[in-house]
Structure 1
Amino acid sequence: MGFAVCVFSSLLIFPMWASDELHRSTSTKFDKLACCIEDCMKAYFSAVSENESAPRINVGDCKSVLHSKSSDESLANFARWEPWHGKFGLNYPWKKYIQIGERIRELASIILSMQECVKSPLQSSTPLKHVIKEPCTSVALSLGLTMRELGTSIMNMKRCQAKAITVPKLQSIKLELIILSTSSNLKGTANAESLDVANFLFLLMKIVDKMEVLAKEVDELGEVAGFQSK
């Protein structure tokens, strides 16, 4: 009797759908990585004296995203067999969620590399960091905002207008980073310091590249899933 009541409640009164969980977890990953990018930037540019330890970076969210593949695939497999319910109709494109998940994990791996760069003992001098601090901080804020917009687009099932707005903005950000990396202000410095800054800027550009691909994937999801236009 108790088992029957439990099954009845799970299916009809308080159903727990794999599709709902996959949809929610996919959208929240964007905010997690946005926070990771912003935290990396704060840690890298924090003024640290010789007697202080570097700010601690929480890598838990980034690693949880990186290790989410099996969970995503299991949820997608269950979601394909669920009946039409709520906002998810028949033949809903759950495969696109798997593809987006792959792109998100690729982005997470780059962010983890940046976190290792931030924790590296071969840090550049404070004056050299000061040269790139303002533009890089601005870039991080823009990337964080863009990531959250993409996540919100999925959560609310509204088109993100990637081709018209997001991709051009990311391309503009990358151009800024390219100009910054070739700036005369970064030339003539010690080799170790130049390498540190060059590596940091390279990883930041890799993040921008991966976000551009991710934005296109989210836009494609909106198209095939019939998301509403904003």
Structure 2
Amino acid sequence: MIHSIKVGISLVLVSLLYLLDPLYEQVGENAMWAIMTVVVIFEFSAGATLGKGLNRGMGTIVGGGLGCIIAILAQKLGGVGSNYYILIAGISIFIFGAIATYFRMIASIKKRYEYGVMILILTFNLVLMSVVREEQQVWEIACDRLLTIVIGFIISISVSCFFFPLWSSDQFHHSTLSTFQQLAYAIQGCLEDYMKFANEKENEAAATTNFTFCKSLMNSKSKDELLVNYAKWEPWHGKFGFSYPWQNYLKIGDLNRDLAAIILALRSCLQASKKPMKLQSWSETIQLTEPYCEEIGSNIVWTLKELGESMKQMRKIHASQFSTKLKASRAEIISMVVMMNIFTFNKISSTTLSILNNNNCDDDDDASLAISSFLFLLKEVVNKVEELTKEVEQLGDIAGFPTHIVQL
């Protein structure tokens, strides 16, 4: 709603170039270029609007300048509308259009400057063509249209940045923080569902954890990259200055997506073990390992929440501050594996032999594999959380956050 109101205000302001006679007398029909500029560059966030506006400005200046130079050169050689002018204009349009399109496809340019290159091609072509059909001088045409485009740019940026600004950097920062919380809840839910399997009556209620967030997080990479691209265009505001290390946020996002994938695999292991006839032979084992699960879950959830809080408060942490709890979690997992082997050594051995002999596994063998896989994936969760602590520490170093001692 805020964005819609801002667009409406911008359109009203730029339309005054047409509606008010004193302004119309200054710009004339070129006022249409100001309106077009507002329509095409006004985006949801200030960074996106600024990026598009600067791209349009740079494309207009470069394309218009090249077009004017070629047009003046062609005029001196043969005059406007002559065969020489048409030949030179045609060859120039082909050469510059082809070269600009080639550079437009380069990944680094396409990511941030594709719109600017497109405007360059458009402006260059329009300047050369306008000279043929209009009586104005080429410099006059270029200057008039550049002026109206600048007016549209100024109106868009002013409204976007000073009237309830919406910053891509804030949006990306807060979405990253919420990811830590959601992943912590998902891991805690996985372990709670695992412990519910000890009671067959709770089997139907076991898979109560909502994994929708993990699924959506798996597809968030392109959105994160887009927000970072917009954030890089934004001016200094609030907590975020120039050259803020957004690339480290992308690395943290990649690790969070890896963690989400492991959590979804944990859910699959739980689903593979939740039938009553599979649970019957494992309920006693799960009851014995329940204290270990509680300790592991507590350590991982605490670590993720502390990482999110340190980023929220922009405080530097040291990965070593979390090593004690993460090492304890690894030790608990090893204890769970030992406990499982004591009670299920024969089952796991028979399962391994049946796999090697390409035989089908019975239900108990499937449950054995599922819970063994669950423990392995739980260890991978601990490893991934440890990688996250190192990446958050690196972010604090680069961003210059003040050091914070975590209370264990």
TM-score, normalized by length of structure 2? 0.53
The one of 246, 249, 261 equivalent to 1:94 is 246
1:209 aligns with 2:383: yes
Q: What residue in structure 1 maps to residue 263 of structure 2?
A: 111
* CA–CA distance in structure 2, aligned partners of residues 68 and 112 of structure 1: 16
1:48 matched to 2:55? The reply is no
Residue 368 of structure 2 is aligned to residue 194 of structure 1: yes
In structure 1, distance between residues paired with 2:335 and 2:265: 22
Match of 1:167 among 306, 315, 323: 323
Structure 1 distance, partners of 2:267, 2:171, is 29
Q: Tell me the alpha carbon deviations over residues 15-39 of structure 1, each in whole angstroms, 9 at most, x when there is no partner.
A: 1111111111111100000000011
Residue pair 2:337, 2:375 contacting (<8 A) in 1 also: yes
Q: For residues 105 and 13 of structure 1, do their structure 2 counterparts lie closer, same or farther at Cα, with a shift above 3 Å needed?
A: same
Q: 1:88 offset after TM fit, Å?
A: 0.9
Q: In the alignment, which of 196, 220, 226 is matched to residue 394 of structure 2?
A: 220
Over 3 Å counting, the alpha-carbon distance change for 1:81 and 1:171 in structure 2 is: same
Return the alpha-carbon distance in structure 2 between the equivalents of residues 36 and 85 of structure 1.
Answer: 34
Identity %: 37
- The one-letter code sitting in structure 2 at the alignment partner of 1:220 is Q
* Greater mean alpha carbon deviation, residues 188-197 or residues 23-32: 188-197
- Once residues 117 and 94 of structure 1 are traced to their aligned partners in structure 2, the CA distance between those partners, rounded to angstroms, is 35
The question of 1:69 aligning with 2:243 is answered no
Q: 1:196 to 1:12 in 2, by over 3 A?
A: same
In structure 2, stretches of 5+ residues that fail to align are: 1-7, 14-154, 349-364
Aligned pairs, number: 229
Query: Does the 8 A contact of 1:157 with 1:228 survive in 2?
Result: yes
- Per the normalisation by structure 1, the TM-score is 0.91
Q: What letter matches 2:314 in structure 1? A: M
Task: Mark the CA change 1:51 to 1:147 in structure 2 (over 3 Å): closer, same or farther.
Answer: closer
Residue of 145, 161, 168 corresponding to 1:11 = 161
Q: Verify the 8 A CA contact 1:18 1:75 in the aligned structure 2.
A: yes
Over aligned residues, Cα RMSD in angstroms?
Answer: 2.1
Contact 1:48 1:54 (8 Å CA) reproduced:
no
- Please state how far the C-alpha of 1:197 moved relative to its aligned partner: 2.5
Cα drift, residue 185 of structure 1:
3.5
Within the alignment, does 1:137 sit opposite 2:286 as a pair?
no
Is the contact made by 1:57 and 1:115 (CA closer than 8 Å) also made in structure 2? no
Partner of 2:234: 82
Work out the CA distance in 2 between the residues paired with 1:48 and 1:3. Answer: 63
The answer as to whether partners of 1:107 and 1:210 remain within 8 angstroms in 2 is yes
Matching residue within 313, 335, 342 for 1:156: 313
Deviation of residue 151 (structure 1)?
A: 0.8
SS in 1 for 2:201: coil
Partner of 1:120: 272
Higher relative contact order (CA 8 A, sep 6+): 1
